[in-house]
Amino acid sequence: MVFSGEPGLHGVAGGPKRVREAMNDLLAELGITMRQDKESGRPRINKEGSYLDRLQKAKGVYFEV
């Protein structure tokens, strides 16, 4: 579940979602993109403004694992 809104003023709780969808929504709200490292298979956060960061944001895919 992803919660959004302003603390103390109003809030909205989204319904249950699949992990990938929920992570994509959360990361989009935070402005962070993640990818899977090719060598280790671990999730990695892309550097802000990097080629992969810009590419994933353009596609709307913030969680690419």
Average pLDDT, the chain: 94
Hey, what are 63's tokens? 């969680």
Q: What is the pLDDT of residue 4?
A: 84
**What value does the mean pLDDT take over residues 22-30?**
93
Q: Identify the band that residue 2 occupies on the pLDDT scale cut at 50, 70 and 90.
A: confident
Is residue 49's pLDDT more than 90?
A: yes
**Which letter, b or e, does each residue of 24-51 get, where b requires 16 or more Cβ atoms within 10 Å of its Cβ?**
bbbbbeeebbbbeeeeeeeeeebeeeee
